C-alpha cells in the first residue's frame, strides 16, 4: 500500500428533483452572473435548460448562455466562451451536460482566470494559477468530470486531444438528478457505463494494492455491470440510473485508486488519440481497445488479471493465473457485446491505415512524454502494435 492524497471538495446534491436547487447552490457559492454552458440541444429538448434558467431567476442570479459544445469538445468554442465571460462580467460557470460540457467549462475557467493562450496549459507550456468557479449539472453518467480534476479538450488543427489536470478545476458542486439521464440514447448510456468501468479499471491495474480499495473497486465494477445490463432492457429504471450516476462520480474522484498508485491510464491515452483523429465516443473507444491492451500486458501481472476475472467477472479459477485471466478478458468482452459496445476498432467504425497507426502512436507517445502505462511501460512501438492488433 502506498501513501496517498485524497481531495474531493465537490458538494454533491443527489436525487430526484435536485435540479431545481441549482439557483440556490450558485448563490451559496457566491455566484452573481453565470455562464450557462451546454451541448448540441438535448437540454433544450428535455426542458432541463428552462428549469435551470427558472431556478437561477428565482434565486436572483444573472445569466448568459453559450451552447454548441460537441462531444470531444473543441478549443474554438472555449475561446468564444472566454471572450463572452469577459464581456459579460461572468463570475461563475454552470455547465449543464456531460463530460464534454463540463470540461469545456473548466477550460473557459482557466482561460478567464489567467492571461495568455489557454491551450498552453493543455500543451504543457505553462501552468495556470487559478480557475473560475464551476458548478456542474450532470445529464449523462460517464466521464465523472463533475468531481474530477481533469479537463479534456480537442484542438481543431491537427485533431489534438489533450487533458489538463488540476485540483483548481474540481467543481464546487454537482447536481446529480438521475432522472435527467433518462432521455439518453441507449448507445450513450452504454458508452457511459464503459467509461465509468474504465476509470476504476485504470486504477485497479496499478503499481500497488490496498485491500479496502480493492473491495470498493470490485464492488463498484460489479454494480455498474449489473446495472448496465438492466438499462439495456429497462432504460427508465431509476434505481439503475441512480447507481450508475453515483458510480460515475466515485469512479473518477480518486476513491477507487487510494493506496494503489496513480493508475495505468494507457487505454485512456490510447483512446484519446483515436478520439482526436476519428471523433469517436470516448466510452466506445475504450471498450474497443481494452481487450487488446489487456492481452498485450497480461504477462506482466497475470495474478492481478486473474483476481479481476474471479472477483469482478465471476470466472471460476482455471489451472493457472494466465488461463483464469484470459477467461476474464473474454468475459469482459462478452459483457461489452451484451451492452452493444465494440470490442475492436472495426466495430467502433474506425479502420486506420498503417500510416495512421504510426501517427496515432507518435502523438500518444508525445502526449505522454515517453512514459505511458504502469502495468507495462509502453514504447511507441508497443502503442502501434496495440492499435494494429485492435483492428
Ligand atoms: O450535446 P447534447 O445534445 O447535449 O448531446 C449529448 C452528446 O451528444 C448527449 N447527452 C448528454 N446528456 C443527455 C444527452 N442526450 C440526451 N439526454 C441527455 N440527458 O450525450 C452525448 C455525449 O455527451 P458527452 O458530454 O460528450 O459525454 P461524456 O460525459 O461521455 O463526455 C465525454 C468527454 O469527456 C472526456 C472524454 O474524453 C470526452 O471528451 N473525459 C473527461 C474526463 C474528465 N474530465 O475527468 C475523464 C474521461 O476519461 C474522459 O476522457
Ligand atoms: Zn474516461
Question: Which residues place a Cβ less than 5 A from the ion ligand 2?
Answer: 195
User: Do residue 167 and residue 202 come from a single domain?
Assistant: no
Please report the pLDDT score of residue 345 as a whole number: 98
Please report the pLDDT score of residue 385 as a whole number: 98
User: Do residue 208 and residue 319 come from a single domain?
Assistant: yes
What are 156-215's pLDDT values in tens digits? 999 999 999 999 999 999 999 999 999 999 999 999 999 999 999 999 999 999 999 999
**pTM check: above 0.95:** yes
- Cβ atoms of 72 and 277 within 8 Å: the answer is no
- Measure the CA–CA gap between 161 and 154, rounded to whole angstroms: 4
Any ligand 1 atom below 6 A from CB of 184: yes
- Nearest ligand 1 atom, CA 41: 3
Q: Region 135-141: what's the mean pLDDT?
A: 98
278 in any annotated domain: yes
Q: Region 271-298: what's the mean pLDDT?
A: 97
User: Do residue 192 and residue 165 come from a single domain?
Assistant: no
1 in any annotated domain: no
Please report the pLDDT score of residue 370 as a whole number: 87
Q: Region 369-374: what's the mean pLDDT?
A: 93
User: Do residue 217 and residue 318 come from a single domain?
Assistant: yes
Q: Region 307-318: what's the mean pLDDT?
A: 98
Q: Is the pLDDT of residue 107 over 90?
A: yes
Q: How large a percentage of the chain has pLDDT more than 90? A: 99
What are 28-82's pLDDT values in tens digits? 999 999 999 999 999 999 999 999 999 999 999 999 999 999 999 999 999 999 9
Please report the pLDDT score of residue 97 as a whole number: 98
Ligand 1 pocket test, pick from 188, 235, 244, 364 with the greatest ligand atom count within 8 Å of Cβ, gives 188
For residue 173, give its domain range: 11-180
What are 7-30's pLDDT values in tens digits? 999 999 999 999 999 999 999 999
231 in any annotated domain: yes
Compute the residue count for the chain. Answer: 391
To the nearest whole number, what is the mean pLDDT of the chain?
Answer: 98
3 in any annotated domain: no
24 in any annotated domain: yes
Q: Region 229-256: what's the mean pLDDT?
A: 98
Q: How far does the centroid of ligand 1 lie from the alpha carbon of residue 140, in Å? A: 7
What are 109-125's pLDDT values in tens digits? 999 999 999 999 999 99
Domain of 153, CATH number, reads: 3.40.50.1970
- Nearest ligand 1 atom, CA 141: 29
Q: Region 319-340: what's the mean pLDDT?
A: 98
Ligand 1 pocket test, pick from 108, 140, 272 with the greatest ligand atom count within 8 Å of Cβ, gives 140
5 in any annotated domain: no
User: Do residue 84 and residue 191 come from a single domain?
Assistant: no
4 in any annotated domain: no
Q: How many domains does the chain have?
A: 2
Measuring from atom 42 of ligand 1, which residue has the nearest CA?
Answer: 143
Considering only the C-alpha atoms of the chain, give the largest distance between any 2 of them, rounded to a whole number of Å: 67
User: Do residue 27 and residue 64 come from a single domain?
Assistant: yes
Q: How far does the centroid of ligand 2 lie from the alpha carbon of residue 23, in Å? A: 29
Residue at a domain's end among 180, 202, 234: 180
Q: Which of 30, 29, 47, 25 is closest to 38 using CA atoms?
A: 47
Q: Which long-range contacts (CB under 8 A, 24 or more apart) does 157-166 make?
A: 159/276, 159/277, 159/279, 160/276, 160/363, 161/72, 161/272, 161/273, 161/275, 161/276, 162/122, 162/123, 162/272, 162/367, 163/122, 163/272, 164/107, 164/110, 164/121, 164/122, 166/127, 166/128, 166/131
- Measure the CA–CA gap between 96 and 105, rounded to whole angstroms: 10
User: Do residue 341 and residue 196 come from a single domain?
Assistant: yes
363 in any annotated domain: yes
Instruction: Give the Cβ contact number of residue 311 at 10 Å.
Output: 18
User: Do residue 230 and residue 340 come from a single domain?
Assistant: yes
User: Do residue 219 and residue 293 come from a single domain?
Assistant: yes
Ligand 1 pocket test, pick from 78, 100, 244 with the greatest ligand atom count within 8 Å of Cβ, gives 100
User: Do residue 32 and residue 73 come from a single domain?
Assistant: yes
Cell of 235: 432504460
Domain of 295, CATH number, reads: 1.20.1090.10
- Measure the CA–CA gap between 127 and 19, rounded to whole angstroms: 34
- Cβ atoms of 81 and 27 within 8 Å: the answer is no
- Cβ atoms of 150 and 163 within 8 Å: the answer is yes
- Ramachandran bin of 7, using left for φ above 0, alpha for ψ from -120 to 50, beta for the remaining angles: beta
Any ligand 1 atom below 6 A from CB of 100: yes
Q: Region 335-340: what's the mean pLDDT?
A: 98
Any ligand 1 atom below 6 A from CB of 170: no
- Measure the CA–CA gap between 312 and 6, rounded to whole angstroms: 24
Residue at a domain's end among 161, 180, 199: 180
Residue at a domain's end among 136, 164, 180: 180
Q: How confident is the model at residue 315 (pLDDT cuts 50, 70, 90)?
A: very high
User: Do residue 360 and residue 300 come from a single domain?
Assistant: yes
User: Do residue 249 and residue 113 come from a single domain?
Assistant: no
Amino acid at each position: 500500500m502506498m501513501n496517498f492524497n485524497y481531495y474531493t471538495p465537490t458538494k454533491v446534491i443527489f436525487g430526484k428533483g435536485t435540479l431545481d436547487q441549482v439557483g440556490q447552490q450558485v448563490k451559496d457559492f457566491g455566484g452573481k452572473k453565470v455562464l450557462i454552458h451546454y451541448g448540441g440541444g438535448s437540454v433544450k429538448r428535455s426542458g432541463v435548460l428552462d428549469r435551470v434558467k427558472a431556478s437561477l431567476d428565482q434565486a436572483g442570479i444573472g445569466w448568459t448562455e453559450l451552447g454548441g459544445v460537441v462531444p470531444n469538445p473543441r478549443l474554438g468554442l472555449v475561446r468564444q466562451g472566454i471572450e463572452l465571460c469577459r464581456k459579460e462580467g461572468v463570475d461563475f460557470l454552470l455547465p449543464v451536460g456531460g463530460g464534454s460540457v463540463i470540461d469545456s467549462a473548466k477550460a473557459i475557467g482557466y482561460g478567464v482566470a489567467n492571461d495568455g493562450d489557454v491551450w498552453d496549459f493543455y500543451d504543457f507550456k505553462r501552468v495556470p494559477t487559478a480557475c473560475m468557479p464551476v458548478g456542474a449539472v450532470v445529464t449523462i453518467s460517464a466521464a465523472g468530470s463533475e468531481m474530477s480534476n481533469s479537463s479534456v479538450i480537442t484542438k481543431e488543427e491537427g485533431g489534438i486531444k489533450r487533458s489538463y489536470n488540476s485540483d483548481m478545476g474540481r467543481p464546487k458542486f454537482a447536481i446529480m438528478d438521475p432522472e435527467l439521464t433518462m432521455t439518453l440514447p441507449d448507445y450513450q448510456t452504454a458508452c457511459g457505463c464503459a467509461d465509468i468501468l474504465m476509470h476504476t479499471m485504470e486504477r485497479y491495474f496499478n503499481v500497488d494494492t490496498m485491500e479496502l480499495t480493492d473491495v470498493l473497486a470490485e464492488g463498484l465494477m460489479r454494480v455498474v455491470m449489473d446495472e448496465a445490463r438492466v438499462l439495456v432492457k429497462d432504460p427508465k429504471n431509476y434505481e439503475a440510473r441512480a447507481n450508475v450516476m453515483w458510480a460515475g462520480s466515485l469512479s473518477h474522484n480518486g476513491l477507487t485508486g487510494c493506496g494503489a498508485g496513480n493508475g495505468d491510464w494507457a487505454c485512456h491515452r490510447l483512446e484519446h488519440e483515436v478520439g482526436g483523429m476519428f471523433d469517436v465516443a470516448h466510452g466506445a473507444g475504450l471498450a474497443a481497445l481494452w481487450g487488446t491492451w489487456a492481452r498485450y500486458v497480461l504477462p506482466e501481472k497475470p495474478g492481478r488479471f486473474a483476481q479481476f476475472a474471479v472477483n469482478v467477472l465471476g470466472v471460476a479459477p482455471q489451472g493457472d493465473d494466465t488461463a483464469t485471466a484470459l477467461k476474464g478478458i473474454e468475459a469482459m468482452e462478452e459483457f461489452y457485446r451484451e451492452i452493444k459496445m465494440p470490442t475492436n476498432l472495426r466495430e467502433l467504425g474506425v479502420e486506420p491505415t498503417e500510416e495512421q497507426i504510426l501517427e496515432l502512436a507518435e502523438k500518444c507517445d508525445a502526449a505522454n512524454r515517453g512514459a505511458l502505462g504502469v502495468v507495462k511501460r509502453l514504447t511507441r512501438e508497443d502503442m502501434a502494435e496495440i492499435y494494429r492488433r485492435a483492428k
